[in-house]
């Protein structure tokens, strides 16, 4: 017996050496270019993972994250085997979870694809009556009707593909076997064309226009770490402004020294896109982190294997570069950096040139600095309240077990501040520790409310999250940074797509589906 583990180029989204587990471990995005047309296939992990429900939940969260990156879905293909007489819990979990995060109208874009159907003469087999019963139950229990007809049922078999892979590896076959495989290929090809023709003519399911729980969840997950960076930035601005204010208040300050200090400090936070994504370890005791570079030595080709949970490489195992647990790693598509600026009022600038500075101007500038400090603290309180509400929303609506990435990242930032010289006199550090203390107090109150079933009266909706997001974008200086972060993350999603061109032999097939002038 010969085992064929790799066909063509190694696929960074698949695992092939763990029998019984889903072949696809993360969402693989395959983009096929057919003339001016683009066919994007999102290959998702199977639901009903042999490793347990936690893996199903994690897989589903990954699926929803990928879906949320697109404006619409043309088709949703649910793959089933033809002789599965126990199509119960797994099927219901799949359908109900999917439709709970999309509008119910997504049901009109669902089709059922039966695999390995050569043994059932390219028919759904024993699974079909079970499927009908499950869909009927779905209609009765949740008022979701998916009408069974030929247009949403497709039967395939991939044994002809396995034959080609085996033949390429030098395995021999009889003429009868070759004819059977050729027949199987022809039937599967016809079904594929029929599937594409049907999906092409469907009304696309709009995703971004649907205010969904999933979109709100992804927004919250995306903004948690940038908001921690903003918390530090605000604290840095407060400390710098208070320091300048104290210097100006000194009685022994000469006129010349005063003139040098008549400005308003501003530390601007901005993002710098990276030429290539970078995997970094966030473990505060990591040897790689404490060396000259915090970048783990991950080859570009293996980036998705590391970060997107293939074989658990970056979620459940240890990093092969630094040895730290996978959970401590993160993929960065951009870096945050700060720029120190001095804002000088034009009127003061003119008076400085004429040497007209007096005690009144000095007091006015002190008041201006205090006003900025008050504004920064007000921003800090606003962001603190929004972060707490984000956390409450995640705790109440998490698919998988809740993981407080915000406080973990805040701990990382606090660690960086502690590593600086004179940590005992570091007011930025003290401010961040106070932010964490207040946050933990609020989160504990939320946890107690949820445990005592007291949170229903103050539950947050998807609309609430979108409103809070807009509120963040309106904050001076901060809003632009957060919008830039979101744009960078959306752009980074393109790195995960694998692009392909159809061979010329497919031109006639594609012409029967699309109007293509040049392939």
Q: What is the pLDDT of residues 152-180, one digit of tens each?
A: 999 999 888 888 888 888 888 888 888 88
For residue 11, give Cα distances in angstroms to 28, 29, 498.
Answer: 9, 11, 10
Question: CA gyration radius for the chain?
Answer: 29
As a whole number of angstroms, the distance between CA 168 and CA 172 comes to: 10
* DSSP letter assigned to residue 325: B
Does residue 321 contact residue 297 with C-beta atoms inside 8 Å? yes
Residue 210: its pLDDT value, please? Answer: 53
pLDDT digits (tens, 9 = 90+) for 361-392: 778 888 999 999 999 999 999 999 999 998 88
Q: How would you class 477 by CB atoms within 10 Å of its CB: exposed for 0-12, middle for 13-18, buried for 19 or more?
A: middle
User: What share of the chain has pLDDT > 90, as a percent?
Assistant: 23
* DSSP letter assigned to residue 495: G
Residue 9: its pLDDT value, please? Answer: 53
As a whole number of angstroms, the distance between CA 63 and CA 308 comes to: 12
Listing DSSP states for 273-309 in one string gives: EEEEEEEEE--TT-TTTTSS--B----GGGHHHHHTT
Sheet containing 28-34: order of strands: 37-43, 28-34, 497-501
* DSSP letter assigned to residue 120: G
Length of the chain: 519
Q: Tell me the whole-structure pTM to 2 decimals.
A: 0.65
Range in 62-71, 94-103, 263-272 the model is least confident about: 94-103
Domain ranges of the chain: 28-210+496-514, 213-262+345-492, 265-338
Residue 300: its pLDDT value, please? Answer: 41
> Within 13 Å, how many C-alpha atoms sit on residue 310's CB side?
19
């Amino acid at each position: 017996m010969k085992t064929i583990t790799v066909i063509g180029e190694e696929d960074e989204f698949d695992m092939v050496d763990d029998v019984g587990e889903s072949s696809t471990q993360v969402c693989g995005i395959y983009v096929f270019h057919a003339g001016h047309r683009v066919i994007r296939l999102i290959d998702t992990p199977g639901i009903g993972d042999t490793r347990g429900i936690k893996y199903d939940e994690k897989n589903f969260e990954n699926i929803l994250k990928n879906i949320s990156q697109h404006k619409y879905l043309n088709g949703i293909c649910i793959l089933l085997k033809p002789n599965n007489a126990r199509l119960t819990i797994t099927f219901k979990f799949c359908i109900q979870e999917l439709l709970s995060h999309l509008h119910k109208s997504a049901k009109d874009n669902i089709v059922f694809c039966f695999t390995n159907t050569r043994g059932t003469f390219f028919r759904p087999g024993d699974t079909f009556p079970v499927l009908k019963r499950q869909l009927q139950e779905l209609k009765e229990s949740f008022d979701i009707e998916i009408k069974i007809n030929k247009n949403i049922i497709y039967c395939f078999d991939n044994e002809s593909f396995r034959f080609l892979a085996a033949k390429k590896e030098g395995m021999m076959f009889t003429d009868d076997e070759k004819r059977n495989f050729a027949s199987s290929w022809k039937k599967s090809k016809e079904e594929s064309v029929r599937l594409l023709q049907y999906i092409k003519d469907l009304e696309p399911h709009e995703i971004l226009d649907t205010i969904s729980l999933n979109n709100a969840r992804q927004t919250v997950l995306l903004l948690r770490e940038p908001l921690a960076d903003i918390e530090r930035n605000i604290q840095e601005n407060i400390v710098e402004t208070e320091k300048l204010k104290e210097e100006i208040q000194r009685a022994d300050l000469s006129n010349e020294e005063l003139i040098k200090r008549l400005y308003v400090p501003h530390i601007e936070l901005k993002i710098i896109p990276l030429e290539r994504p970078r995997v970094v370890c966030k473990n505060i005791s990591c040897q790689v982190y404490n060396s000259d570079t915090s970048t783990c030595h991950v080859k570009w080709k293996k980036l998705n294997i590391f970060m997107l949970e293939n074989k658990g490489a970056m979620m459940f195992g240890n990093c092969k570069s630094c040895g730290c647990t996978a959970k401590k790693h993160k993929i960065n598509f951009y870096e945050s950096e700060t720029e120190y600026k001095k804002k000088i009022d034009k009127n003061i600038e003119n008076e400085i040139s004429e040497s007209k500075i007096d005690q009144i101007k000095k007091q006015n500038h002190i008041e201006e600095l205090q006003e900025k400090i008050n504004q920064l603290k007000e921003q800090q309180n606003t962001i603190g309240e929004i972060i707490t509400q984000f956390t409450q929303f995640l705790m109440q609506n998490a698919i998988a077990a809740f993981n407080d990435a915000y406080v973990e990242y805040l701990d990382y930032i606090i660690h960086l501040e502690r590593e600086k010289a004179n940590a005992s006199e570091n007011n930025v550090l003290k401010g961040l520790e106070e932010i964490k203390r207040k946050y933990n107090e609020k989160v504990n109150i939320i946890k107690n409310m949820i445990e005592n079933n007291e949170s229903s009266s103050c539950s947050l909706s998807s609309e609430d999250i979108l409103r809070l997001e807009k509120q963040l974008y309106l904050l001076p200086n901060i809003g632009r940074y957060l919008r830039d972060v979101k744009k960078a993350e959306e752009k980074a999603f393109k790195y995960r797509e694998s692009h392909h061109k159809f061979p010329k032999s497919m031109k006639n097939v594609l012409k029967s589906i699309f109007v293509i002038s040049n392939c």
